[in-house]
């Protein structure tokens, strides 16, 4: 079973990278300060659209917003680059392939009591890592280890980052672990997700 990691040193990042590579996901409970989480929530000014209720095997309820990573607010790129830059050196030292830089940023609003997304894997076009930052609200987040299939769940909080392995990393044939999020019980939940789309920014979320 994978465990959460709060990196504060090079040794901690080494452990975090090892967990990510072998289990397929990594929880960073305090990656963002509350103030930074609030700032990232406020820079989403790209307009909202309802998410399709059904998308392949996914059932969901919420609203989405998207921007190419290169066009995102500098604060968004600072956070994404910091994550890649923190993981990359220790991955290189241990022989894991380099991580591609993010090229897409999206925000998702999950309304209180109804917003959710059912168990799914992100499409194979998303490689490297997928970083999900909780900015506002809370809900039960659930993820299954790969390949063991054991399940872990917790109440995700503002400031937390969940990093998921994308397709084809750290080795050919690797897949994104299944994950899902329940309905926010009290207030709206807002997340920011950073990805690398092999079809290019805006290439579409094909299931």
pLDDT digits (tens, 9 = 90+) for 10-51: 778 888 888 888 889 999 988 998 999 999 999 988 889 999
Tell me whether residue 5 is in a domain.
no
> Which range marks the domain in which residue 20 is found?
10-197
Tell me whether residue 74 is in a domain.
yes
CATH of the domain at 80: 2.60.120.620
The pLDDT score that the predictor gives to residue 17 is 85
CB 75 within 8 A of CB 82: no
- pTM, two decimals, is 0.93
Please give the helix or strand (H or E) that residue 27 lies within, else none.
strand 25-28
Classify burial at 6, counting beta carbons within 10 Å of its beta carbon; exposed 0-12, middle 13-18, buried 19 or more.
exposed
pLDDT below 70 — which residues of the chain? 1-8, 146-148, 205-207
CB 87 within 8 A of CB 13: yes
* 42 half-sphere exposure, CB direction, 13 A CA radius: 7
Cα separation, 148 vs 145, in Å, equals 6
Which tokens belong to 201? 């920014």
Tell me whether residue 204 is in a domain.
no
């Amino acid at each position: 079973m994978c465990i959460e990691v709060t990196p504060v040193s090079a040794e901690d990042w080494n452990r975090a990278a090892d967990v990510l590579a072998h289990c397929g996901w990594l929880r960073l409970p305090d990656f963002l300060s509350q103030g930074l989480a609030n700032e990232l929530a406020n820079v989403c000014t790209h307009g909202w659209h309802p998410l399709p209720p059904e998308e392949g095997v996914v059932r969901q309820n919420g609203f989405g917003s998207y921007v190419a990573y290169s066009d995102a607010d500098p604060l968004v790129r600072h956070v994404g680059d910091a994550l890649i830059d923190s993981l990359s050196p220790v991955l290189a030292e241990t022989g894991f392939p380099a991580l591609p830089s993010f090229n897409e940023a999206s925000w998702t609003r999950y309304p209180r009591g109804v917003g959710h997304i059912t168990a799914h894997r992100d499409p194979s076009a998303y490689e490297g890592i997928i970083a999900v930052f909780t900015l506002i609200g809370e809900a039960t987040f659930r993820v299954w280890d790969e390949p063991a299939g054991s399940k872990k769940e917790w109440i995700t909080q503002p400031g937390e980052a969940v990093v998921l392995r994308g397709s084809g990393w750290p080795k050919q044939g690797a897949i994104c672990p299944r994950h899902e999020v329940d309905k926010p019980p009290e207030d709206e939940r807002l997340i920011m997700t950073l990805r690398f789309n092999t079809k290019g920014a805006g290439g579409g979320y094909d299931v």
